[in-house]
């Protein structure tokens, strides 16, 4: 199979390496030329996936149009904010039969479109598949067991994608609810910020985490169903599974953002220290707007927003959460 990965960051490198290990030919486009050079010359990506030796079947290029000429599958592994501006100029480069798999989990702050919708609009003639679920790149890149969801309209496309990804430690399961699979991945980032807030205050009791994650799941489900997802999709890997993985992972940018906010740092300083604004932040802003329009209350998400903007402290938020937010 001929496969391309757009973005050899943390996730893109792990997915590209997985597919190369599975015996397929993989070319990755990378924005950063030094990262591409290191992958080609040393089979390492010390910036985005340190400590993992890469399969020589994964090569890198900085020419995006070249990478997109592969016949079989193109995986989009960019943070959502870069998707449109990176792919719009090369929209015409794809073969019509090439399957496009979106791995990004975010909402475009300007358009309100999810990454899957943005990718679908960019490539209206191609089959589009959504991949989401508990898939922390630093873990499955080291062979740790991982199971994710892929969703799309046509089972034949899903079978092709499964053939590229499946092996002894990485498996995919199918869904026909692309909206639900995507929204589970998009929305959980909001609540991972919240768990980081509590961790930063050293509130790590199991009782409390169970309450928080249950209420988060309830809120995800309410807004998700209002946006067209099926309830049962949130009860499986791309819903509750991904919420647990991202909230509890030490590798989550979103959780880290919450931890820094809990230390009382202002938003600008958190962004400076992290060097990147985690997806959950823009998702939170967009979702509160959408929730207002759809008359769906999201008190937990609104509380997080108020803390991030210094309207009250993380400690006050926790007090309010226990007293008022739990219905």
Ligand X SMILES: NC(=O)c1ccc[n+]([C@@H]2O[C@H](COP(=O)([O-])OP(=O)(O)OC[C@H]3O[C@@H](n4cnc5c(N)ncnc54)[C@H](O)[C@@H]3O)[C@@H](O)[C@H]2O)c1
Residues with a catalytic annotation lie at: 188
CB of 149: closest distance to ligand X in angstroms?
Answer: 12
Q: Which residue number, 100 or 314, has a Cβ lying nearer to ligand X?
A: 100
Which residue's CB atom is positioned nearest to ligand X? 9
How far out from the chain centre does Cα 301 lie?
18
- Conformation bin of residue 133: beta by default, left when phi > 0, alpha when psi is -120 to 50: left
DSSP for 190-241, please give it.
Answer: HHHHHHHHHHHTT---HHHHHHHHHHHHHHHHHHHHHTT--GGGGGSIIIII
CA pair distance 264, 266, nearest whole angstrom: 6
CA pair distance 200, 62, nearest whole angstrom: 39
CA pair distance 178, 152, nearest whole angstrom: 6
Query: How is residue 60 written in tokens?
Result: 């890198």
CB of 280: closest distance to ligand X in angstroms?
Answer: 9
Which of these, 204, 187, 225, 196, lies nearest to 301 by C-alpha position?
A: 187
Cβ–Cβ < 8 Å for 8, 86: no
Which chain residues interact with ligand X by CB under 6 A?
7-12, 30-32, 48, 77-80, 82, 86, 103-106, 135-137, 279
CB of 202: closest distance to ligand X in angstroms?
Answer: 25
Q: Which residue number, 78 or 172, has a Cβ lying nearer to ligand X?
A: 78
Q: Which residue number, 50 or 297, has a Cβ lying nearer to ligand X?
A: 50
CA pair distance 162, 108, nearest whole angstrom: 28
Q: Which residue number, 131 or 314, has a Cβ lying nearer to ligand X?
A: 131
CB of 287: closest distance to ligand X in angstroms?
Answer: 15
CA pair distance 130, 176, nearest whole angstrom: 10
CB of 297: closest distance to ligand X in angstroms?
Answer: 26
Q: Which residue number, 2 or 32, has a Cβ lying nearer to ligand X?
A: 32
């Amino acid at each position: 199979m001929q496969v391309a990965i757009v973005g050899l960051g943390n996730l893109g490198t792990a997915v590209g390496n997985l597919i190369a290990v599975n015996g397929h030919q993989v070319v990755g486009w990378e924005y950063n030329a030094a990262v591409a050079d290191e992958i080609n010359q040393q089979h390492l990506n010390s910036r985005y996936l340190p400590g993992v030796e890469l399969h020589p079947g994964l090569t890198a290029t900085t020419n995006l149009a070249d990478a997109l000429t592969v016949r079989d599958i193109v995986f989009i592994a960019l943070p959502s904010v870069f998707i449109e501006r990176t792919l719009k100029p090369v929209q015409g480069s794809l073969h019509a039969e090439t399957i496009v798999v979106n791995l990004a989990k975010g909402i475009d702050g300007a358009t309100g479109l999810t990454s899957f919708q943005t990718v679908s609009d960019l490539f209206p003639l191609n089959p589009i598949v959504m991949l989401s679920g508990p898939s922390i790149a630093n873990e499955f890149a080291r062979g740790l067991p991982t199971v994710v969801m892929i969703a799309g309209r046509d089972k034949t496309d899903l079978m092709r994608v499964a053939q590229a990804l499946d092996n002894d430690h990485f498996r995919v399961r199918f869904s026909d609810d692309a909206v639900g699979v995507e929204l589970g991945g998009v929305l959980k980032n909001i609540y991972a910020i919240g768990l980081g807030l509590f961790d930063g205050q050293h509130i790590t009791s199991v009782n409390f985490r169970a309450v928080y994650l249950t209420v988060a799941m309830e809120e995800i489900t309410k807004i998700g169903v209002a946006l067209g997802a099926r309830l049962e999709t949130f009860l499986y890997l791309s819903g509750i599974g991904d919420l647990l993985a991202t909230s509890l992972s030490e590798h989550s940018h979103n959780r880290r953002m919450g931890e820094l906010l809990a230390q009382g740092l202002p938003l600008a300083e958190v962004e400076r220290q992290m060097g990147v604004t985690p997806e959950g932040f823009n998702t939170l802003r967009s979702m509160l707007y959408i929730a207002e329009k759809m008359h769906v209350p999201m008190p937990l998400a609104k509380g997080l927003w108020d803390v991030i903007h210094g309207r009250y402290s993380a400690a006050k938020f926790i007090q309010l959460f226990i007293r008022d937010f739990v219905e």
